[in-house]
Amino acid sequence: MSVVKRMTPDRQRALNLLKERLDGRLRSHLNSCVRCGLCGESCHYYLTKADPRYLPGYKVDQIAGVFRRYYTLIGRLFPRWVGARDFDEETIEEMVDVIYGACTMCGRCSLHCSIGVDIVYLIRTARSMLAEIDLVPPGLQSTVDAAVETGNNMAIPREELVDTLQWIEEDLQLDLEDENASIPLDRKGARVLYTLNPREPKFFPLSISAAGKIFHVAGEDWNISTHVYDVTNYAYYSGCETTAAELTRRLYDEAVKLEAEVLLLSECGHGFRSIRWEGPQWINRPYPFEVRSVIEQIADYIRSGRIRLDPALNQQPVTLHDPCNLVREGGVFESQRFVLNNSVQNFIEMTPNREDSYCCGGGGGQLSMSRYRERRIEAGKLKADQIRETGAKIVATPCHNCIDQIMELNLVYKLGIQVKTVAELAADALVRTEKS
Amino acid sequence: MRTYHLVLLTGFGIFSLISLFYLIRVVKEGRRSDPSQPEGRVLPAVVYALTASMSPLRKETAYLHVPTYTAGLLFHVGTFLGFGWLAIHLFQLRIGPFLTTGSAFLLMVSAVCGLSILIKRIVTPEMRILSNPDDYASNLLVTGFQALSALTLLRSDLIPVLFIYGGVLFLYIPASKLRHTIYFFTSRIHLGIFYGRRGIWPPGARR
């Protein structure tokens, strides 16, 4: 028999958080894992390096073991017998390493778990506990802090954003040979409020340009807010729900202020998941506007004939990487395929794809946690091999985190590919008609 | 009523009460309200979560591990068959020799499956790291129950031993990993709700 040790106040806060979150869903998942070990093949970390610490079941046990120790009778009385563990320094150190450093929260293991444990949900809860005691890895925390303090995760000053968008607008006018082509800013009453990943104005202006081109040809009534535009929400990854709610509330307020009917999200996996699905739970209210991914919108433009595309304008073989948070965890499966099938001549599916797609390794906030870079690149080898097998020259993916990771994989594993957003390929295939 | 009847019934009674408590608590605690606009329907997804999603055609942990999956499936069938025979013995129902012999065979097969899963846990280094004493004990207890159930069908003088064993097993279930008897269903229902709202399950409903 073992006595539960006294907790330091900060650790007690983390345990209290676990208790506060303990609803029927969390309790079910915490009690279900039978440690069958079959989940290994679902995890890109385990598949690339057969370290048992990378088994999803092992990661689950980090939080489930703590739960058993403090919130079950048998775990309090006979901790060793049931694998209950004290929430001590050793446990916390291991939790940080495997919960932050060896998981992208891609959800592949949850989908295939032999029992049905929502492993991502448990990882998120574990991250919340660690965030409660300020143990978020510094790179990830500074990304969150930048978003909170400056309004975007890359700390881009507003003037710089406006300059960039104006430059893109001029470029768009030249490209379309139409002086009416524009990037409307801060316009109240526009039907669509379009968000950006700060990486776009900073490093990938072409993807903003592509979206602008499509909106213009489709005759969309749209605009971008220069005050609140960041589609990302890294607090989802850090586990701090208070901050996640704050960032969601800002977007919500801006969309309401600008009277938008549609909050249109640029190509960002976790941004889609955070805003579309988690956001209403964080701020505990429904949205009075619709939330969509831009690729769903482009697919609608094609279906309704608002834009016409010519696949012959994209001749090179293209493959698609499914971002986990948009597809497996977000439910957008076919829109990106529909757009690509209309935009490129030779579209090759990766195997496996859709909900079975392997994570590229860039999710979970991994790109901002430099201490785990080596692991991230190693885990990405699975995706690199998948890409190579398709023989494609272009990888399309509707997510900027995935783009960054695949670009890095391209360099490390010498894939010889280009990486593009889906909107970029659609914009390249746009056919101007008299009407447009 | 003999002592061994009492042991079995007491074990079963305590198991039922605790299980009911677990179930009521999970239902009562519910889940966090989700004001997001749903994209799909929850009920078909929950049905899918409890049925086709677990088939070897869909579930990677099944189709990549067919021997383990099959052994696991038979192991669980054997457990429920064993419980069924406990009831048959308790109520002294008459069952024909064909079903009795068939059950004994199936119970022996399922016990062998349980043993094979236990051996896999013992000899695979990854599994050893993942396992705690309860994992071994739970398996051993259930495997033993199945083997004893099979023997009882061949030698009825072992029924008192089976009743006592069954009573102990019932007592152990809520305290150990065997409580997944209850939480397995609630987990899959919650997973179905999650994927159903987002239009991910069932696969036919996707956008």
- Asked if the Cβ–Cβ distance from B187 to A331 is below 8 Å, we say no
- Asked if the Cβ–Cβ distance from A110 to B191 is below 8 Å, we say yes
> Per CATH, is A308-431 categorized as 3.40.50?
yes
Interval A24-68: pLDDT, tens? 999 999 999 999 999 999 999 999 999 999 999 999 999 999 999
Interval B172-203: pLDDT, tens? 999 999 999 999 999 999 999 999 999 999 99
- Mean pLDDT of the A135-164 span: 97
How far apart, in whole angstroms, are the C-alpha atoms of residue A128 and residue A303? 42
How far apart, in whole angstroms, are the C-alpha atoms of residue A197 and residue A208? 9
For residue B36, the model assigns a pLDDT of: 97
Residue B180, chain A, CB below 8 Å: the answer is yes
Rounded to the nearest angstrom, the minimum Cα separation between B181 and chain A is: 9
- Asked if the Cβ–Cβ distance from A81 to B132 is below 8 Å, we say yes
Interval A175-223: pLDDT, tens? 999 999 999 999 999 999 999 999 999 999 999 999 999 999 999 999 9
| Greatest C-alpha distance within chain B | 62
DSSP state of B59: -
Q: For residue B141, is pLDDT > 90?
A: yes
Interval A259-302: pLDDT, tens? 999 999 999 999 999 999 999 999 999 999 999 999 999 999 99
Residues of chain A with CATH 1.10.1060: 9-135
User: Smallest Cβ distance to B65: which of A27, A38, A118?
Assistant: A38
* Residue B204 binned pLDDT confidence (cut-offs 50, 70, 90): confident
Residues of B in contact with A329 (CB under 8 A): 198, 200
CATH of A153-303, one of 3.40.1350, 3.40.50, 3.30.70, 2.30.29: 3.40.50
Interval B27-72: pLDDT, tens? 999 999 999 999 999 999 999 999 999 999 999 999 999 999 999 9
How far apart, in whole angstroms, are the C-alpha atoms of residue A318 and residue A391? 9
For residue A1, the model assigns a pLDDT of: 55
Residues of chain A with CATH 3.40.50: 153-303, 308-431
Residue B96, chain A, CB below 8 Å: the answer is no
User: Smallest Cβ distance to B39: which of A24, A36, A331?
Assistant: A331
ipTM of the complex: 0.95
Residues of A in contact with B199 (CB under 8 A): 331
| Half-sphere exposure for B174 (CA within 13 Å, toward CB) | 18
| Domain A9-135 top-level CATH class | mainly alpha
Residues of B in contact with A277 (CB under 8 A): 36, 198
Interval A77-116: pLDDT, tens? 999 999 999 999 999 999 999 999 999 999 999 999 999 9
Interval A325-364: pLDDT, tens? 999 999 999 999 999 999 999 999 999 999 999 999 999 9
- Asked if the Cβ–Cβ distance from B207 to A332 is below 8 Å, we say yes
How far apart, in whole angstroms, are the C-alpha atoms of residue B179 and residue A64? 14
* Residue A434 binned pLDDT confidence (cut-offs 50, 70, 90): low
Percent of chain B with pLDDT over 90: 98
Q: Residue A39 is encoded by which pair of tokens?
A: 């989940």
How far apart, in whole angstroms, are the C-alpha atoms of residue A268 and residue A248? 15
User: Per DSSP, what are the bridge partners of residue A418?
Assistant: A394
Amino acid at A434: E
* 3 state SS for chain A: CCCCCCCCHHHHHHHHHHHHCCCHHHHHHHHHCCCCCHHHHHCHHHHHCCCHHHCHHHHHHHHHHHHHHHHCHHHHHCHHHHCCCCCCHHHHHHHHHHHHCCCCCCCHHHHHCCCCCCHHHHHHHHHHHHHHCCCCCHHHHHHHHHHHHHCCCCCCCHHHHHHHHHHHHHHHHHHHCCCCCCCCECCCCCCEEECECCHHHHHCHHHHHHHHHHHHHHCCCEEECCCCCECCCCHHHHCCHHHHHHHHHHHHHHHHHCCCCEEEECCCHHHHHHHHHHHHHHHCCCCCCEEEEHHHHHHHHHHCCCCEECHHHCCCCEEECCCCCCCCCCCCCCHHHHHHHHHCCCEECCCCCHHHCCCCCCCCCHHHCHHHHHHHHHHCHHHHHHHHHHCCCEEECCCHHHHHHHHHHHHHCCCCCEEECHHHHHHHCEECCCCC
Q: For residue B4, is pLDDT > 80?
A: yes
For residue B22, the model assigns a pLDDT of: 97
For residue A35, the model assigns a pLDDT of: 97
Instruction: Tell me whether the omega of the peptide bond preceding residue A352 falls within 30 degrees of 0, making it cis.
Output: yes
For residue A435, the model assigns a pLDDT of: 56
How far apart, in whole angstroms, are the C-alpha atoms of residue B97 and residue B109? 18
Residues of A in contact with B71 (CB under 8 A): none
Residues of B in contact with A117 (CB under 8 A): 187
H helix runs in B58-132, sequence order:
60-63, 66-90, 97-123, 125-130
Minimal Cα distance from A119: which residue of B?
Answer: B191
Interval A211-269: pLDDT, tens? 999 999 999 999 999 999 999 999 999 999 999 999 999 999 999 999 999 999 999 99
CATH of B3-26+60-188, one of 1.20.950.20, 1.10.357.10, 3.30.450.20, 3.40.50.300: 1.20.950.20
- Residue A210 contacts residue A106 (beta carbons within 8 Å): no
| Half-sphere exposure for B136 (CA within 13 Å, toward CB) | 15
Rounded to the nearest angstrom, the minimum Cα separation between B48 and chain A is: 12
* Residue A7 binned pLDDT confidence (cut-offs 50, 70, 90): confident
The whole-chain average pLDDT of chain A stands at 96
The set of residues, in sequence order, having a beta carbon less than 8 Å from that of A411 and lying 6+ positions away, is none
Interval A111-142: pLDDT, tens? 999 999 999 999 999 999 999 999 999 999 99
For residue A8, the model assigns a pLDDT of: 87
Residue B52, chain A, CB below 8 Å: the answer is no
